[in-house]
Amino acid sequence: SKSKQTSTNMMNLTYRARSLNHKQTFIRRIPRIQNRCDRSYATEISSVTASEIAKFGELAQRWWDPQGPLRTLHHINPTRISYVKRNMVSDQESITPLKGKRMLDIGCGAGVLSEPLARLGANVVGVDAAATSIAAAISHSQIDPLLKDNLSYRCSTAEDLVKEGEQFDAVCALEVIEHVADPAAFLASCSALVKPGGHLFISTIDKTPQSFLTVIVGAEYFLNLLDRGTHDWNKFIGPQDITTILNGIGGMKVHNVTGLAYNPLTEKCSEAPHVGMNYIMTIQKDNTS
């Protein structure tokens, strides 16, 4: 009926206005929160480079834009979350299967991974070396009051948390290691942050000719899916190299390596057997370590 259609249109307009208001509030809060972050946190950076911090810090207002420069991150996120959940807990039916788990999201950016993990029940700490990203993360999380009790953010690094003696049931470093200066030092810090019996999840890009053609040439220069310069192919690292580093650290066992296949036409991501491109790993710490 005409009255029903009018009611539906009014509801849609109300929803759009509310969404726009949230977005405007989110953006307005960033500078104010960033000032607080800059005053409150000091970090000694080792495996993280200043250029990488600046690169992603400049994207603070765009992290949550589903059509923005980080849109592929939003496309692959459901597959990453499903993988982490499945490899952490056996209960896949609960709406909060990660309840009781304390998790760390390293290189969290504006919380694209942190927020969904918190909604699954985990007590999540998101850390990033870019104060602008942390400001964006805090601002966006305030849109959903249900996150206030089990999601927190810190402008910090993995190395700083190790010095503080922090440990977690699970540590996630997804799409991070390809941006660090020293992968071995970074993995050592990640491993130290995992509780005995806990899990470390790493996702990144293998260093292969296929990844150069697809990620650098295709995604960054041809399809413009990513900003040019987002990645440095020389920093890509394969699962065998990560395994070798972890074997040298000791006490960490690789349980699973799974490929992540992304289709830019459908904007969908799925797990795949081939690991010569994007892949994700499950690593578990010995109970005695």
Convert the pLDDT of each residue in 16-65 to its tens digit.
444 445 555 555 555 555 555 544 444 445 566 677 677 666 777 888 99
Pairing of strands 168-174, 194-205: parallel
Please report the pLDDT score of residue 41 as a whole number: 45
d(CA 59, CA 64) in angstroms, rounded, equals 10
d(CA 124, CA 261) in angstroms, rounded, equals 27
Please report the pLDDT score of residue 22 as a whole number: 52
Please report the pLDDT score of residue 91 as a whole number: 84
Please report the pLDDT score of residue 218 as a whole number: 73
Please report the pLDDT score of residue 4 as a whole number: 43
* 8 Å CB contact between 101 and 122: yes
Query: Which residues, other chains included, contact 51 with Cβ-Cβ below 8 Å and sequence gap of 6+?
Result: none
Query: Which residues, other chains included, contact 31 with Cβ-Cβ below 8 Å and sequence gap of 6+?
Result: 135
Tokens for 122, please give them.
Answer: 């985990």
Please report the pLDDT score of residue 223 as a whole number: 72
CB atoms within 10 A of CB 97: 18
Closest C-alpha among 115, 71, 65 to residue 230 = 71
d(CA 165, CA 162) in angstroms, rounded, equals 5
The Cα-based distances of 38 to 11, 140, 196, 283 in angstroms read 40, 18, 33, 34
The Cα-based distances of 60 to 128, 141, 215, 227 in angstroms read 12, 14, 22, 14
Task: With H, G, I as helix, E, B as strand and everything else as coil, classify residue 109.
Answer: coil
What residues in the chain have per-residue pLDDT under 50?
2-20, 38-44
The Cα-based distances of 46 to 49, 133, 163, 168 in angstroms read 7, 19, 13, 21
Tokens for 206, please give them.
Answer: 């293998």
Please report the pLDDT score of residue 7 as a whole number: 46
